Amino acid sequence: MTSAVIDVAIVGAGPVGTLLAAELARLGVAATVIEQRAEAGGGSRAVGIHATALAAMEASGATDRLLADALRVRVGEARRRGRTLGEVRFDRLHARHPFVATLPQSATEAALAGAAAAWDAPPPRRGAAVTSVRSRGGADGGAAGAVEVTLDAGESLAARIVVVAGGLRSRALLPALGGETRVRRAPYPDRYLMTDTADVSGDGNRAVVHLDPRGVLESFPLPGGRRRYVAWVGAATGDRALDRAGDSAEADAATARLRTAVAERTGSDAEASTVSHATTFGVARSRLTALRVGRVLAIGDAAHEVSPIGGQGMNLGLIDAVTLAPLLARWIRYGDAPPELAAWERARLRAADLSGRLAAANTTLGRPHGAATALGVRLALAGPTARLMAHAYAMGFDSAARRFRR
């Protein structure tokens, strides 16, 4: 182990880890971020940032950077066979940012990295994989003690605090927090196909959810005249076109299947014609039973996984980071773990459970349903339930939201 002890080591330079580094730098703590990827990720995985997360990131300067490139979605519309069932109005939220900001995750990471750099946060150490995290004395969080972080090249670092924020793959580093043995898990059979393509829908900045008898088709606008389509395509049944969409023949079949789903569920051959590729994914729900043991903590997807249907997961992790940073800064400054960490952990576990339930409801609603379900959606969106839905999607029921209201 190297002799120098760093203050905070963050495993993972995705959006959550990068935001935590930015917040810590703003509070006067330099964190060492360790990232397995040699370069920042491309692609467009999580695309929506909700009102509460946007408000939470204002102090770091990240919100202004994100909004400079983002598209603002103020209305979500539910349709069935071309007919409008109702709307969810984000523009009527009592929030500083009454909309959903959409942009590719690569752009989100770049904006957060820019915010971190503006606070003189050290750049991440890239191309280094963490292979183990072990406490070395003082594990209760007192002034003495450290955590040994071992890298794949054999190098070891000593840190006063380690935060694992490297997504699901980093859970293997967390035996003390549950690892693979103390995880509450609920897998789902649902499979989806997704693409980002040119937007010829005519829907502008409006998000549209097509509740079709064959399954949901979600349609989200993105910056630069692009649109994301996500289609429910069935349960996991060993369909090679779904399970092996990385192979060329299966990829072609998956693309054709998504093209058909877009045509059938939107009624637009023009929209379907823009689909030139597809990726497949399944969904699950899981979380650790504890987010902290001693000097080791977990946030983001490393701590809690929710179905991406509904766009809760990344936002949940961003709020984890913003609410944790001041507690870690106090810990570093005064030497002892703040007693408020216990309340933080309970609040974030409750928030994860709430987001998980909302995402599960969205997943269930996206399965094939008949006219009765469509009628129920129409009735719900015609009344006060629509306002509650907008509040829920915007993370308004997260207890941290109260801190960031206007």
DSSP letter string over 128-177? --EEEEEEES-TTSSSS-EEEEEETTS-EEEEEEEEE-S-GGGGGG-GGG
Classify residue 300 by its DSSP letter: G
**pLDDT tens per residue, range 167-210:** 998 988 987 565 544 667 777 899 999 999 999 999 999 999 99
Query: What pLDDT does 38 receive?
Result: 87
Torsion over CA: 353, 355, 359, 361 (sign): positive
Query: What pLDDT does 180 receive?
Result: 45
Query: What pLDDT does 220 receive?
Result: 98
Query: What pLDDT does 248 receive?
Result: 73
**pLDDT tens per residue, range 28-65:** 999 999 999 988 876 558 899 999 999 999 999 999 99
Neighbours of 139 (CB within 10 A): 17
Query: What pLDDT does 4 receive?
Result: 85
Distance CA 129, CA 364 (A): 37
Query: What pLDDT does 236 receive?
Result: 63
Q: Give the three-class secondary structure for 185.
A: strand
Q: Is the pTM of this model over 0.85?
A: yes
Average per-residue pLDDT in the chain?
90
Q: What residue ranges of the chain have pLDDT lower than 70?
A: 1-3, 42-44, 137-144, 176-183, 236-247, 406
CATH topology of domain 5-73+105-184+286-366: FAD/NAD(P)-binding domain (3.50.50)
